[in-house]
Amino acid sequence: EHSKNQARPVTIPHKFINFEDSPMWNDLLLNSKLLVVDDNDVNRGVVVFILNNLGFKNVDVVADGFQAIEKAKQTSYDLIFMDIQMPNCDGYTATSKILTEVSPKPYVVAITASILEKDTELCLAVGMKDFISKPFKQKNFEQVLRRWKTSRM
């Protein structure tokens, strides 16, 4: 039995706080500008659906690397999801040009069917920061977005 002046054990309920619940995450959702670059309509639609589902609303899309370079010169993107194999201008060339010609530099994520070691080395060599493999899964986007968010802190 505890008297009034004795210390009592206090149980504090522990709640794991996801970064998604933080004010910074909400700010990222509201203010970040994203660009999806893929020559396949279905892939673009799936990526946009996943990003919208995660709360991102400012998502632009283009169909090739040349369009990505032009868009990146016009708009300051925070994050670009870049397909690697596209006609006209591939993702490596587009990323290299964007990171050379645009400031501030966006965080570029490769979206690719192949994540062989030589492919990842090429992606890193041109300045890409992360990778998502096809077929797309929301959990892969969540992992990449966690790393991107951490890089911004």
Question: What residues of the chain score a pLDDT lower than 70?
Answer: 1-26, 28, 153
Q: Return d(Cα 136, Cα 43) in angstroms, integer.
A: 8
pTM of the model: 0.82
Query: According to the model, what pLDDT value does residue 120 have?
Result: 84
What's the Cα-to-Cα distance from 140 to each of 44, 58, 105, 112, 134, rounded to whole Å?
Answer: 16, 20, 23, 12, 10
* pLDDT tens-digit readout, 18-61: 545 556 666 767 789 999 999 999 999 999 999 998 888 899 99
